[in-house]
Amino acid sequence: MASSLELRNGASKVLGHDRKEEVEEFSHAKQLVMSMSLQTAIELGVFDIIAKGRRS
């Protein structure tokens, strides 16, 4: 496959745009996973268990 240097300027911009979209999608997915993980930890009482362990 051709590298971005071998492509015309218009095609290069499209590749840059695709990369930007990919980064934004990854960032969104990461935020979703983190919020779901936090919610699950709260529902399972993980933080309560940690707090009880520190009091002992």
3-state secondary structure 2-24: CCHHHCCHHHHHHHHHHHHHHHH
Give the rounded percent of residues in the chain with a pLDDT score beyond 70: 70
What mean pLDDT do residues 6-17 have?
A: 56
What mean pLDDT do residues 4-32 have?
A: 74
Residue-averaged pLDDT of the chain: 81
46 falls in which pLDDT band (50, 70, 90)? Answer: very high
Give the per-residue pLDDT at 1. Answer: 42
Say which residues have a Cβ less than 8 Å from residue 11's Cβ, sequence separation at least 6: 4
Span of 1-5, 37-41, 50-54 with lowest mean pLDDT: 1-5
Q: Which two tokens stand for residue 5?
A: 């240097």
